[in-house]
Copies of this chain bind each other. A is one copy, B any other.
Amino acid sequence: MILKSQVEWALHCCAILAGLPEGRYLSTKALAELHGLPKEYLSKALQSLSQASLVDTTLGPSGGYRLARPSSEISFLEIVEAVEGKARSFTCTNIRENNPCRPAGYCDSKPCAVARVMWEADEAWRNTLRRVRLSDLVGTLSEDVPPDIWRDTFEWVLKRAG
């Protein structure tokens, strides 16, 4: 059970977008170079964010991506689910159906007891991610990263933002 690397990419990209000045867009190319990622494949992750309406896009030079909402109104979970999908990590294939002692139709009222536990754990995972906002990440990052590097990064980025 491993998340796609695109999840990591999307989160880091959103953190950068959260720091962009109002109205500016940042292109796939700039985001890929900043993070040392394959441009074409990163583009797929950004398209997922766009389809989930987490980012706005615009075309042409000076085009690219920006957050569709303030970073305080975007949760980790939304970003993760945009890329990874909303499907639960445990899929019940109902193997209890195969029990040769089980007449058809029995015990079909509720989902399987095993699945209920696994889904509860899945919910706990999602709830944790739901509670963390993108603005929280930006806050933590600006504590962790030395201020001059943080500033240099955004200068570097804005030079490429058209």
Contact between chains at B102 and A149 (CB < 8 Å): yes
Query: Which of B102, B129, B146 is within 8 Å of A107, CB to CB?
Result: B146
The docked-state distance in angstroms from the alpha carbon of A2 to that of B124 is: 16
How close is A91's CB to chain B, nearest CB, in angstroms?
A: 7
Contact between chains at B146 and A114 (CB < 8 Å): no
Query: Taking each of A98, A121, A124, which has the highest tally of chain B beta carbons within 10 Å of its own beta carbon?
Result: A121
- Which of A18-26, A43-51, A65-73, A137-145 contacts its partner? A137-145
How close is A134's CB to chain B, nearest CB, in angstroms?
A: 10
Q: What is the 8 Å Cβ interface bit string for chain A, positions 18-45, against chain B (1 contact, 0 not)?
A: 0000000000000001111100000000
Query: Which of B15, B120, B141 is within 8 Å of A128, CB to CB?
Result: B120
A62 in the interface, Cβ–Cβ < 8 Å? Answer: no
28 contacts between A and B (CB under 8 A): A1-B3, A3-B89, A3-B90, A3-B118, A5-B91, A8-B92, A8-B93, A8-B114, A34-B98, A34-B100, A35-B98, A36-B95, A101-B152, A101-B156, A102-B153, A103-B149, A106-B145, A110-B144, A113-B141, A113-B144, A114-B137, A117-B128, A117-B137, A120-B128, A121-B125, A121-B129, A122-B125, A124-B124
| Partner-B contacts on A (CB < 8 A) | 1-5, 7-9, 11-12, 15, 33-37, 76, 84, 87, 89-93, 95-103, 106-107, 110, 113-114, 116-118, 120-122, 124-129, 132, 136-137, 140-141, 144-146, 149, 152-153, 155-156
